[in-house]
Amino acid sequence: MDLKPIDRTDRALTRLNAALSIYRETILPEAQNPERQILYWIEHSKDTLADEFRCFAIQRASEVVGYLQYSYFREEHVFFFEYLCIRDKGRRGLVPSGAVHSIEDFLGQNYRPDFTIVFEVARKRNDAGQWEADSKLLAYFRRLGFREIEFEYRYPILQSYEGETSYPADLMVRLPGKRVKITASEMRTVLRCLYFKHYLRWDRPFLDQDRFGERERLINELYSTQITEIGNNDSFGTRGDDNRSEIERFRNRQPRLRLMLEEIFAPKLLRVVTLVAVLVVAARVLGNPYLFVPFVLGVAALYCLVEDTEASRKLFVLIMSRMRIVKPRSS
């Protein structure tokens, strides 16, 4: 199993469409974000933000079998797994172990250790119209070492303001240090991240001022209600498989020196060396020493084109506006 990052909507369209198809089929309608919003945030995932938004297609060989979407709140060192969807007809079980191991390896190798992971398992209506826990899904994630927080959690409505303003869900967590209790302070932090740094931030680009004000009021009220439930409790217990919770996961299996060198040099060093070589060859062919005056700016401008992000494109325009053709002085 491999994780294939989705950070553009104009490339690898077959992979993107296959991943979103799995998302549509496996997530409850009331828990889905409109796809146009997901595509918007994919396009803006490289914007300079304090937090991260990442999407991945989960592949086995050339076949897309799943979709992963998460937010990482950098300051709080908390991951929110928004969607983890699998449709693997060739295997039994909810999520193939290979997919889980790929996620563990990626997080362990790309983030500092001792993070918290939290995600929602939306409750479903039974035939009597009552909400009930998705016991099958909860049992599966307990086998992976996640634990259910003993807290009556609700997430805000996603699609519209009709009907209920929030829905019940079971909040699952994996705490650092093999802990099985989440403190009241940590619980407030998790709720604040989910409500304000995810749900409210997510909606901002798609609502006018009045609608956004209404959305903000709804989430403020929901947050206040949930905080009241915390009260003066020192901590909240969690339910799970005690033996499996002890298993060490999300471990960085790469040597520290190798990881540090890759972070510093790869893959950007090869790009820079290639660009420098092209400019040096061009300077020698032209035989004009004054080409070395804009040498550094030229390398920087070409590198910005290679990166092809919003920030690099802005920097490219700035560099080009500063570049001037230098004429040799007459003797």
Q: What are the CA-CA distances from residue 75 to residues 49, 55, 79, 177 (Å)?
A: 12, 20, 11, 19
Does the pTM of the predicted model rise above 0.85?
no
Q: What is the pLDDT of residues 182-204, one digit of tens each?
A: 999 999 999 999 999 999 999 99
Amino acid at 242: D
Q: CA separation (Å) from 87 to 59, 70, 95, 103, 133?
A: 11, 18, 8, 16, 21
Please report the domains of the chain, with CATH numbers, ordered by start residue. Answer: 2-254 (3.40.630.30), 267-322 (no CATH)
pLDDT band at 312 (very low <50, low <70, confident <90, very high): low
pLDDT tops 60 at residue 127? yes
- Is the separation of the CB atoms in 102 and 3 below 8 Å? yes
Tokens in use for 315? 């920097």
Average pLDDT over residues 254-275: 55
Instruction: Classify the C-alpha dihedral 209-213-215-219 as positive or negative.
Output: positive
Structure tokens at 12: 């690898």
Mean pLDDT of the chain: 81
pLDDT for 167 beyond 70: yes
Entry field: residues in the chain: 331
pLDDT at 288: 64
pLDDT surpasses 60 at 276: yes
